[in-house]
A and B are shown apart, each in its own frame.
Chain A
Amino acid sequence: MKLSGKVAFRDLEGGVWVLEADDGQIYELAGDRRIQKHGKRIEVEGDVNSQGVGIAMVGPVLSVRRYRFL
């Protein structure tokens, strides 16, 4: 799955990183920590982990395979 959007830090549960996708969906970002740059626009390739649970509870967990800052 390919998505574009904005990386954002949210002050929830001690801090979570999300992708605010251009289609309006919020994903919790899992994977490479170097992706954690607040406010950066990004294009990511990855999969939604349907078994994924976590502390964030903001939306589906997106396991990032590849990404590119725009």
Chain B
Amino acid sequence: MPVYESLAKCSVHLLVAAALAAGCCAKSKVGPSKGASSDDPDARVPGAIVVDFKDGTTKEEFDAWEKEWGVDLEFNSIEGPVDGVTIAVGVKDVDQVLEKIRKHPAVEAAEPLMSLQASFVPNDPEYPKQWNLRQIHMPKAWEMSRGSGVIVAVIDTGIAYEDYQEFRRVPDLKGIKFAKGYDFVNDDEHPNDDHGHGTHVAGTIAQATNNGEGVAGIAFEATLMPIKVLNQFGMGVSSDIADAIRFATDHGAKVINMSLGGGGYSRVIENAIKYARKKGVTVVCAAGNSGLGRVSYPAAYDGAVAVSAVGPDGKRAPYSSFGKELDIAAPGGDKRSGPEGGILQNTIDRRNPARSVYEYYQGTSMAAPHVSGVAALLYARGARGPEEVERALFEGASPVGDKDWSEEYGHGLLNAEASLKLVGKGPVPVDWAPLLIGAGLLAFVLLTLKTRQRMGYLNILFSPGFFIPLVLATVGVFFARWAFGGASGVSGEIVNGVSLPIPDWGRIIFGRGKMASPIFYSALIPLVASLIAIRAKGLRDVVAGLGMGFAGFLAYAAWAKAPPLAYMPFTFLALPWLLVNALVCMFIARAMLRKEAAR
């Protein structure tokens, strides 16, 4: 376990030199961190260096030397004349300059300046047992957001949130804000927990933290909305779930956590999730505990974030379900090597709802609230809707293995710190690779034609009739996303939809599904267009551009381990499907280009 010093509450980000941190820390109130070191390029302050001269070196001395190095060094602080620590900014080639400086006999050390970000280490006595919170980089994330003002609905067995009749609030939820919820099992306004599961889940999201009691939670300044749909045996009916989702959405929840599953496909629940998402709510669900390659409902629905579970080693826990609808992995515990491998939170004793206990649970139910908690942090940090939250969650996730996406881990392992850094950075950066691949494949296609049948490469590429459909099919109307990206609601969805590359337009029709439509991810559109071009010869270069664009897009999708395709029984079929269709697209484009040249 990393050794944290006792400065729990430092909330400022300070700039200090990593190597000198040990000496400076006591003075400069910086929480220790294992984060920044000289080989961490992300932590470097651009163009800034720090040089430690021998103690007692004077400004006159290094002013004389610095001309040769081409930098302007100044003492770092009033301690400078004593400890010889200097800094310089605006350095052009940091590495080269440092190499020169290090050769000087009066220099003890010279390094790039590092940005050390403070860590928040809560004082909850059982916090050291919460390996799961360090696994998702919470100490750094808490410095950026604690979920203030965001309502998270926990649709579960209820929460031990109030003293009411025989129920007692558990001590480690004292001080947490609660929104009015509902008990759909007993049809009243007191969704207390008579099981233990819901309180445990709620604790992961927002246990009272830094209160010197028990354990910590992720978004401890968020507001919890308790909604009870499961009875004392942890069971319920799907009709209540649909009502609960709509209740939470209509009462201001930004995040809905559903650590439950079962039953078959239900149109009613699917519609409720779509409704929530349209209203700007992020819906997070547990993938299931069958250990099989099938994500359970409701996690499998479009619009829900499906979460699998990992143990302390970051590997998928054996009980965790997985599959092509999976979105992300988070700690859910693995107790095979002892109970400490589970997730520790405050909950109630199953045999006595009035009795508080701290228990290690394991299950995908424990993984989902990690994602819900981080989603709350993202909203509090300024994320504008489920699109932006999901993008930050998925792009920030730490990749597992060499894949961008896998059935076991989705986009990777939840990383709260990295995801928070992606909020407010504007819309999705444009991925130019499909366009470049399309342009590259054009050169290949031209080479397969006889010299007399083909036009010059650049003449074709930059004729508007060819280039515009090429851009539309590969990167879409990318500048529209820059202008409107991240907007929520129906208008935002349409703008986001039509600005996508043409193969992704299927998502406008079929919804923002987890899976791409194989009808759109195919040669169908260029093929239909080419049939039209048989009559309308002026369209030839347009169809050629479309064909090359689709070829580039599909080839890139195949190479980048594309999203799984809907209606395909096996995920491995996606690769040959994409490659074959890319070839067909190239063939169509080739036919169009040849006729054009032969005219």
Listed in ascending order, the chain A residues whose CB lies under 8 Å from chain B are 10-16, 26, 28, 30, 49-61
Which of A11, A49, A53 is B260 in contact with, Cβ under 8 Å? A53
Are A13 and B197 within 8 A (Cβ)?
A: yes
| Most chain B beta-carbon contacts within 10 A, residue among A12, A53, A58 | A53
Given contacts A11-B335, A60-B262, contact A53 B289 (CB under 8 A): no
- Interface code B290-301, partner A: CB below 8 Å = 1, 0 otherwise? 100000100000
Q: How far is the CA of A27 from the CA of B440 in the complex (A)?
A: 54
Starting from the known contacts A55-B235, A57-B260, 13 additional A-B residue pairs (CB-CB under 8 Å) come to A13-B197, A13-B289, A13-B366, A14-B361, A49-B237, A51-B237, A54-B230, A55-B230, A55-B259, A55-B365, A57-B261, A61-B235, A61-B262
Which of A14, A28, A60, A61 is B350 in contact with, Cβ under 8 Å? A14
Q: How far is the CA of A12 from the CA of B317 in the complex (A)?
A: 11
Chain B residues near A61 (CB-CB < 8 A):
235, 262-263
Are B264 and A16 within 8 A (Cβ)?
A: no
8 A-B Cβ contacts within 8 A? Answer: A13-B289, A14-B200, A15-B350, A28-B262, A51-B263, A53-B260, A57-B260, A57-B296
Q: How many interface residues does chain B have, given as a range?
A: 35 or more
5 A-B pairs with the lowest CB-CB distances in the bound complex, closest first: A55-B234, A57-B261, A57-B288, A13-B363, A54-B235
Q: How far is the CA of A26 from the CA of B233 in the complex (A)?
A: 18
Are B262 and A52 within 8 A (Cβ)?
A: yes
Chain A residues near B335 (CB-CB < 8 A):
11
Chain A residues near B77 (CB-CB < 8 A):
none
Are B260 and A52 within 8 A (Cβ)?
A: no
Given contacts A13-B234, A14-B350, A58-B289, contact A53 B361 (CB under 8 A): no
Are A54 and B234 within 8 A (Cβ)?
A: yes
B209 within 8 A of A: no
Listed in ascending order, the chain B residues whose CB lies under 8 Å from chain A are 156-157, 195-197, 200, 229-230, 233-239, 241, 259-264, 286, 288-290, 296, 319, 321, 335, 347, 350, 359, 361-366
Q: How far is the CA of A60 from the CA of B292 in the complex (A)?
A: 14
- Look across to chain B and name the residue whose beta carbon is closest to the beta carbon of A33: B233
Given contacts A54-B230, A54-B260, A55-B260, contact A13 B365 (CB under 8 A): yes
CB distance from B82 to the nearest CB of A (A): 59
Chain B residues near A49 (CB-CB < 8 A):
237, 263
Q: How far is the CA of A53 from the CA of B237 in the complex (A)?
A: 6
CB distance from B564 to the nearest CB of A (A): 21
Chain B residues near A15 (CB-CB < 8 A):
350
Q: How far is the CA of A9 from the CA of B235 in the complex (A)?
A: 16
Are A16 and B261 within 8 A (Cβ)?
A: no
Are A57 and B290 within 8 A (Cβ)?
A: yes
Which of B157, B235, B237, B362 is A12 in contact with, Cβ under 8 Å? B362
Chain A residues near B263 (CB-CB < 8 A):
49-53, 61
